[in-house]
């Protein structure tokens, strides 16, 4: 059995720290941390704009970072509560005024059902929700104007059961909805031969034609739906900067694929197992970074792939954190000496955490140490959010510690060539983060349903 590259996150018992003083004691030095989320202590001196406690029982979803809406006036927070997916909007002074933007049940829900996907328009003014109706035989797309009141309205419906439902905005007026229909067996006693070639049988109504594949939904005016038929099955899509290409990232029921809208083609990707697209090159429409398995499928790496040429390059070993940093340059969290064999054979070996900035046009590779140790196992769990406006990366990194690994939130500024530890604490629960539109602020969500969840917005030092 191959060894897992994932970190085992253990529960942490609460620890209280007592202190005492005497009348003759010297004044103590300032505490190293002054801000607090649920599990993380914010480094002394970093400006915290807000801490907002989420409702009891709310838990973050690890794949859903905070969403900046209405030019930063509101932050969308997606998680689970009482067994249902819910999205809150936090706005007003210090983002402390809350409202429900999408829900599966209750008076704030546009309709009851199961939320399959959520996506905000590029300008942050409109929210789209893909809702599976009770019974699972219909998908409704609900549009909500975030400036107006009300839970929103259904603008398109698709009958049938689907194994994959994903949604992206191509622009402020168009949604790409990717559907993979669940196979529907013919009714008992009816087969293809009966339907097609037996003249003595009475006419048999064929099974209904369920929508399948990629649906382009125009939300302005009267609205419209334009189906695009491709020969390959859909999975969660990631779109290029100008929506020319999309990568179906694959899942248990479908392999990864590449969609070319310009030529109306869909082809299988050369990696047959699911991948995760991290970023698209804004200067080269067909180049993207993805996390995928190494050749032995026992660990992972970050790869850069070019659709036009088919060229592929290894960017990082046993890491989940990389991004494009402009002009086809990349920034990657990892270790320069780490190789796939070492990551497989010695996943718990101590390594120095490093950031590598690759500039292919200049044939340059700058490697910057972050000042603490990690392991290949922990690097595989790392994440990165990159602000192209600020040229700054925010990274979630893990370090060896007992009784549980230690989580660190670190930023690295390419402009100032400097790294800062923003916050740290025991690796418990989930942490998600995202940059504001201009990269001035970083929001992160921290916690779980038991310990509670807090949203923090801070100003990274530069």
Q: What digits encode the pLDDT tens for the residues 371-387?
A: 999 999 999 999 999 99
Phi, psi of 72 (to 5 degrees): 90, -5
Residue in the structure block whose two tokens are 């006693």: 189
Nearest to 257 by CA among 271, 278, 243: 271
pLDDT recorded at residue 186 = 53
- Which pLDDT score, from 0 to 100, does residue 231 have? 87
Is residue 188 within 8 Å of 197, Cβ to Cβ?
no
- For 66-122, write each residue's pLDDT tens digit: 999 999 999 999 999 999 999 999 999 999 999 999 999 999 999 999 999 999 999
Neighbours of 451 (CB within 10 A): 16
Q: Render pLDDT for 4-45 as a digit per residue (tens, 0 to 9).
A: 222 222 222 222 223 333 333 344 343 344 466 889 999 999
What whole-number distance in Å separates Cα of residue 256 and Cα of residue 234? 9
φ/ψ region of 12 (left if φ > 0, alpha if ψ in -120 to 50, else beta) reads beta
How far is the C-alpha of 319 from the C-alpha of 43, rounded, in Å? 25
Give the per-residue pLDDT at 29. Answer: 43
Q: What is the mean pLDDT of the segment spanning 213-241? A: 93
DSSP string, 288-309: EEEEEE-TTSSSEEEEEEETTT
The answer to whether 300 and 276 are in contact (CB under 8 A) is: no
Structure tokens at 227: 């189906």
The average pLDDT across 168-191 equals 82
Measured between alpha carbons, how far is 404 from 8 in angstroms, rounded to an integer?
Answer: 9
Query: 76: closest CA among 91, 61, 54, 59?
Result: 91
Smallest CA-to-CA distance from 305 within 249, 352, 261 is with 249
| Exposure b/e, 278-317, CB count within 10 A at least 16 = b | bbbbeebbbbbbbbbbbeeebbbbbbbbebeeeeeeebbb
Collapsed DSSP state (helix, strand, coil) of residue 192: helix
| Mean pLDDT lowest among 227-231, 333-337, 429-433 | 227-231
**For the stretch 44-71, what's the b/e string if a residue is b when 16 or more beta carbons lie within 10 angstroms of its beta carbon?**
eebebebbbebeeebbbeeebbbbbbbe
Q: Starting from the edge strand earliest in sequence, which strands make up the sheet with 452-459, in order?
A: 47-53, 452-459, 442-448, 430-435
Q: Can you tell me which residue has the tokens 């290949």?
A: 376
The residue with tokens 């859903």 is 64
Please give the Cα distance from 65 to 445 (Å, whole number).
Answer: 7
- Over 60: is that where the pLDDT of 450 sits? yes
Is residue 181 within 8 A of residue 137, CB to CB? The reply is no
More confident residue, 23 or 146: 146
Cβ atoms < 10 Å from Cβ of 347:
20
Q: Of 111, 113, 59, which Cα lies nearest the Cα of 81?
A: 59
Confidence category of residue 417, pLDDT binned at 50, 70, 90: very high
CA-to-CA separations, 45 to 41, 247, 394, 457, 459, in angstroms, rounded: 12, 42, 18, 14, 10
Q: What is the pLDDT of residues 282-318, one digit of tens each?
A: 999 999 999 999 999 999 999 999 999 999 999 999 9
Per-residue pLDDT, 184: 76
């Amino acid at each position: 059995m191959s060894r897992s590259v994932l970190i085992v996150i253990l529960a942490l018992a609460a620890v209280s720290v007592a202190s005492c003083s005497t009348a003759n004691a010297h004044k103590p030095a300032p505490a190293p941390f002054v801000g607090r989320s649920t599990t993380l202590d914010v480094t002394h001196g970093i400006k915290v704009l807000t801490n907002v406690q989420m409702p009891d029982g709310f838990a973050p979803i690890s794949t859903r970072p905070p969403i900046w809406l209405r030019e930063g006036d509101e932050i969308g927070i997606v998680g689970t509560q009482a067994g249902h997916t819910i999205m809150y909007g936090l706005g007003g002074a210090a983002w402390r005024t809350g409202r429900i933007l999408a829900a599966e049940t209750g008076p704030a829900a546009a309709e009851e059902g199961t939320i399959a996907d959520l996506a905000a328009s590029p300008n942050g003014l409109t929210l789209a929700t893909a809702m599976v109706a009770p019974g699972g035989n219909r998908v409704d797309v609900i549009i909500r104007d975030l400036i107006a009141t009300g839970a929103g309205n259904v603008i398109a419906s698709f009958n049938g059961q689907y194994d994959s439902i994903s949604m992206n905005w191509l622009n402020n007026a168009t949604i790409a909805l990717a559907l993979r229909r669940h196979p529907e067996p013919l009714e008992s006693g009816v087969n293809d031969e009966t339907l097609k070639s037996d003249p003595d049988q009475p006419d048999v109504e064929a099974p209904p034609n369920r929508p399948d594949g990629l649906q382009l939904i125009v939300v302005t005016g009267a609205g419209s739906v334009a189906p695009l038929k491709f020969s390959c099955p859909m999975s969660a899509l990631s779109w290029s900067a100008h929506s020319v290409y999309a990568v179906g990232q694959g899942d248990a029921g479908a392999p990864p694929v590449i969609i070319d809208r310009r030529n109306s083609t869909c082809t299988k990707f050369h990696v047959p197992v699911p991948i995760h697209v991290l970023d698209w090159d804004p200067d080269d429409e067909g180049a993207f970074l993805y996390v995928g398995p190494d050749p032995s499928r026992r660990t992972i790496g970050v790869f850069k792939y070019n659709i036009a040429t088919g060229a592929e390059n290894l960017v990082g070993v046993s890491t989940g954190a990389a991004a494009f940093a402009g002009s086809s340059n990349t920034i990657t969290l990892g270790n320069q000496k780490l190789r796939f064999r070492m990551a497989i054979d010695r996943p718990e070996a101590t390594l120095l955490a490093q950031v590598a900035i690759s500039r292919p046009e200049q044939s340059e590779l700058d490697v910057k140490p972050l000042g603490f140790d990690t392991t290949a196992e922990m690097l595989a769990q790392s994440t990165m959010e990159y602000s192209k406006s600020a040229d700054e990366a925010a990274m979630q990194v893990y370090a060896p510690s007992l009784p549980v690994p230690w989580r660190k939130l670190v930023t690295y500024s390419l402009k100032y060539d400097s790294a800062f530890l923003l916050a740290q604490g025991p690796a418990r629960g989930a942490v998600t983060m995202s940059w504001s539109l201009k990269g001035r602020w970083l929001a992160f969500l921290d916690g779980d349903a038991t310990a509670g969840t807090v949203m923090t917005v801070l100003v990274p030092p530069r």
